[in-house]
Amino acid sequence: MIYNILKSVHIFSVIAWMAGLLYLPRIFMYHADTKINKETSETFKVMERKLFSIIMTPAFIFTWITGLSMTHYLGFDTWLILKLFFVLLLTVYHFLCRKWLTNFANDSNKITSKFFRITNEIPAIFLIAIIILVIFKPF
C-alpha cells in the first residue's frame, strides 16, 4: 500500500514538474522577444516566478523524494540507474531554468527567443527516454 501511495504521488509530481519544464521555456521564448514593453515584461516575470517556485520546485522535490523512496521496493536495476541519469539531466535543466529566470528577473537576459524555442524540446526528449526505460525495463 505504501508503494502505491508513493507511486501515485510520484506520477503526479512528475506530471507537474514536466508541465513546468515544458512551459517555462515557452514563457521565456515570449519574454525574450525584443518587441515587448515594460508592463508585459513585468507580467512575464510574475508568471515565471510563480510557475517555478509554486509548481515546478515542489514537484521537483516530491519527484525526487518519492522516486528515491520507491527504490526501497524496486531495488537498483540497470534500467533504473539509466533512468536516474536522465532524471539528473532534467534536474540540471531545472536549475538552468532557474538561472534564466533570474536573468529575466534582473533584466539581464541576453538569450534569444529562438534559443528558448529549441531548448524547450529538451525535457520532452528526456521524458521519452524515461518512459521507454520505465515501461520496457530493457536492461
Report mean pLDDT in 10-residue bins for the chain, 139 residues: 97 98 97 93 98 98 97 91 97 98 98 96 97 93
Q: What is the pLDDT of residue 74?
A: 87
Nearest residue to 94 via CA among 42, 16, 31: 16
CA pair distance 85, 81, nearest whole angstrom:
6
Instruction: State the cell numbers at 61.
Output: 522535490
Q: What's the pLDDT score for residue 34? A: 81
Instruction: Note the pTM of the prediction, 2 decimals.
Output: 0.95
The pLDDT, as a whole number, for residue 14 is 98
* Res 3: pLDDT: 95
Element (H, E) at 72: helix 57-74
Who's near 10: CB < 8 A, 6+ residues apart? Answer: 62, 63, 66, 67, 70
- Tell me which long-range contacts 9-13 makes (C-beta under 8 A, separation of at least 24): 9/62, 9/66, 10/62, 10/63, 10/66, 10/67, 10/70, 12/62, 13/59, 13/60, 13/62, 13/63, 13/66
